[in-house]
Structure formats: C-alpha cells, structure tokens
Amino acid sequence: MTRDRDFGVGVVGVGKYLPDRVLSNADLERSTGMSAAEIEEKTGIRERRQARDDETASEMSAAAARDALAMAGIAPEELGLIITCTFTGDYVYPAVSCRIQDIIGARNAGAFDIMANCTGFQVGLGVASDRLLADPSVGPALVVGTALQSRFINYADAASAIYFGDGVGAAVLDRVDPGYGIIANDVSANGRAFDAVRLRGGGSSHPMRPDNVDQGLQYYEIQGLEVWKQVVQNQPASIRRALAKLDKTVEDVDFFVFHQANLRLIEFLMGKIRQPMEKTVINVDRYGNTADASQAIALCDAVTQGRLKKDDLVVLSGVGAGFIFGTTVMRWQG
C-alpha cells in the first residue's frame, strides 16, 4: 500500500511526435519478400512511421516535450527533472536528455536517460514519481519515450523489419491531489532471456571496427517465439502484482495502456486476463512497435481521444528486451 501523503504525483500533460514518412506493408513486401497481407495477419500492423534522414532523436523528443508542456501549462524553466527512456539517442553517450534540456530551454532541470527498452516509459514514470514524492524541492518532471529505430533495422530481415517504427511520446508529471496519480509500480526481469532481442554493434563487447562492419552487428536481432513466450508468461503476473499492492484485481481496472508490440499479442493478453478490448487503446496498426515511445504515444492517444475519465483506475504495462517486465497503476485525475 502507498504511504499516506498530502499529495500524489500524476500525469498532467502528454504529447507525441510521429514522423511524416509512412512505411507501408507494401513497401516491406518489396524488401522482405513477405506479403503485405501476411504481415498484417501476423502483426495487425498496416504501416509504421520512419524518420527523415535529417531528423534526430533529440529534435523529435523536443517536439513531443513541447506539446506535453503546453497541455500541462508548465514552462520549460519550471521543470525540475528530465528523464528520457531510449536506446536510440543521438549518440551512444552522453544522455540525450541533456540535449533535450538545451533545445527546449529547461535550464533548471536535472537530466538523465534510462534504458529499459520497450517498457522504458513505464519505468521512467516510476522513477520520476519517486523523485517527486521523495524530494519536495524537485519541480515538475518530464518523461520522454524516444524511438528512432529505423537506422538499426535491416529491411531485408522480415523477423525485425515488419514490426518497428519511429516516434516519441512525452508526459509531464506534477504533484496532484492525494489518492490520485501513480499509486503502484512493479518491475521485474528475466536475464536468462538476455539475448532474445539485442543490438550488439557499438556495445563494449562488440565495438564497431573495420573488420566487422559486414557482419550485421549494427542491426536488431530478434527471436520472435521467445519474445512471445516471455510476454505471455510474465506480463499478466506483473499486472497482478502491481494491482495486489492496492488490494485490486484486473476486474477493478477501467483502462489498460499496453506496449504496442503486436496487435495479436495485445489481443492475447486481454483474453488471458479476461478483459474486453474496449478497455484498451490500439495504435500499433498505424505506428508499429515504437519501443520506449510506445506506451507514451498510446497514453497520449487515450488522453486526447477522451478515453480516460476522472477517477478511472488506469494500468500501463509493458515488456522490454532483457527481459524487463513493468506495470504502473494510476488513479486518473485528468
């Protein structure tokens, strides 16, 4: 159970950025040899977005951040913290959060990155809310989920190319009325599946050298069956653990926001927890799997579409490479 406080920490503004360029299943049929109809049947995805050659992760992130700040009515210089959840920042290091801080003019904000892959935004929400709960001197927090993945995809490899898209989602967290906002979190991991989804090139075990540039280390590698197994075995358990901290069950939840990896997987999850699809938001058909940005963009869509009402119990849940499983429960204040 959460401790009694005279305030909570919740989402007060959301924003998103999707590149204009659309990559359709017909485009991928030409590059992968898998038919457009088979791609949609397997994934539920019809198209995804792809950044232009001159777009950067930091600029895309700043665009989403500005929208979230505008909705929240908070000026950049009021921010006390910026957390960017990504593994596709501008550079290997430094943290892209520092570039975002500079672009948007958030000169008073501390900044750092988190890598938790496709559940990164959910983990970032938990870290940001913990900081605001623990330290009264910390101002509002900006949590950004950033995915510029197209530059790490081999578009001849159907195992990865059919899923991934580019995009950014952002949320501003601030102090809200007691009992509202983020009220429970759960994070767990299974390192035994560490190599099931990976990008080896550029890591310290696989630095990019002239003698290995032809080995494909700079591209995503995915074992699809292992991903499915990790999700179906562990994500429902994460949801139930987070809800149990509040003496709640899935039947008490008003709305679910999932990582948008695969429409068929979301359908399976909702069936496994015996909840109707009407209680969740779907955009994977239009945006594909946007990794760390996925839950942030989905939350933004749910808010702007008026899907969330005051007092709703909302669950955000995702699974990221590693494997990392996470769930955040919010009491929506609006």
Catalytic center residues: 118, 259, 289
In angstroms, the Cα distances linking 241 to 1, 13, 247, 277, 285 are 12, 27, 10, 21, 29
What is the three-class DSSP state of 229?
Answer: helix
Q: Give the β-pairing of 22-24 and 47-49.
A: antiparallel
Q: What is the CA radius of gyration of the chain?
A: 19
Answer whether 65's CB lies under 8 Å from 142's CB: yes
Strand locations in 218-261, DSSP E? Answer: 221-222, 255-258
What is the three-class DSSP state of 104?
Answer: helix
Residue 226 burial by Cβ neighbours in a 10 Å radius (0-12, 13-18, 19+): middle
Among residues 94, 98, 186, 184, the alpha carbon closest in space to that of 142 is found at 98
Angle made by CA atoms 177, 179, 184, in degrees to the nearest 5: 125
Cβ-defined contacts of 266-275 (< 8 Å, 24+)? 266/44, 267/44, 268/232, 269/231, 269/232, 269/235, 269/236, 272/232, 272/236, 273/236, 273/239, 274/250, 275/250, 275/251
Among residues 189, 188, 190, 171, the alpha carbon closest in space to that of 314 is found at 171
138 Cβ contact partners less than 8 Å away, ≥ 6 residues apart: 80, 81, 131, 132
What is the three-class DSSP state of 331?
Answer: strand
